[in-house]
Structure 1
């Protein structure tokens, strides 16, 4: 073991006493710009809320085109916009899906309870469940109108501001 260490020390020393020359190799690393095209395609197919998934897909394709041309700054800008649109499409799509499922469960349960009460002959119970189903339908209509107003506010005020912020890189 001591002999091996001694050999390593001897091999590491300079071989000649002349001037040392060095070579510098510049290796350009390719900047990886994610274009989010798979995520955009998923949102286009499954969560295409207000066509946000389709618009995100268009920006992803533009980002990929800019990357192929060599314009990394343009590709990054389009990719950032696609990412922001994908986030909004996913969040709004999940929330709307959950909302529709909850409303369907409540409205259909009231309908089936009312029908079951009519079959048994309990008209008072049937009327009570029918009025509950009617009130749930009214609440569904009100919530639908409020969510539509909320989406319009998001699309008009919040989304453009977040797109501008993503474009500036802040």
Structure 2
């Protein structure tokens, strides 16, 4: 690969010095571009950490999360609570949607994150209501069984 010619105006948009490439960027919107010059073969020795040889342009990954995506709720704490409220069986559904929503948020997929957030919210509501009804039903059944058995066993002695 040949080294870039910075003086050629037709290739100026393709190859830019690191200072030009970083100054032309909109903050947090484009990945950082770093030009690593080809090391002089006469110098020898190892290449410094973070640089590689070959005179290539490396594009640094963009780890920026858009503020509008960061405001999307993933309902993860409620989903974790629903594992206990929904008796593990139903509690995993909202947890799965919450985790998918969180992964879509980190990959800057706003529409997918909103969809998974809505599904996690709906399933959290359904599992919470069903779980509370089941817990209340279990308590009522235990009290009714206790009353029925306590009246039979203590009848002659009461």
Tell me the TM-score normalised to structure 2 length.
Answer: 0.54
Provide the C-alpha distance between the structure 1 equivalents of 2:140 and 2:87, rounded to a whole number of angstroms. 18
Quote the offset at 1:63 in angstroms: 0.2
How many corresponding residue pairs? 95
1:109 is the counterpart of 2:147: yes
Provide the C-alpha distance between the structure 1 equivalents of 2:92 and 2:139, rounded to a whole number of angstroms. 24
Q: Which residue of 1 aligns with 2:105?
A: 67
User: Alignment partner for residue 39 of structure 1, among 65, 69, 78?
Assistant: 78
User: Alignment partner for residue 130 of structure 2, among 92, 96, 101?
Assistant: 92
Quote the offset at 1:48 in angstroms: 2.3
Where in structure 1 are there 5+ consecutive unaligned residues?
1-27, 123-170
Quote the offset at 1:49 in angstroms: 4.7
1:53 is the counterpart of 2:88: no
CA RMSD of aligned residues (A): 2.5
Alpha carbons 2:74, 2:102 under 8 Å: kept: yes
User: Alignment partner for residue 118 of structure 2, among 80, 86, 102?
Assistant: 80
Quote the offset at 1:53 in angstroms: 1.5
Provide the C-alpha distance between the structure 2 equivalents of 1:86 and 1:68, rounded to a whole number of angstroms. 22
Tell me the TM-score normalised to structure 1 length.
Answer: 0.51
Provide the C-alpha distance between the structure 2 equivalents of 1:92 and 1:116, rounded to a whole number of angstroms. 36
Alpha carbons 1:56, 1:83 under 8 Å: kept: yes
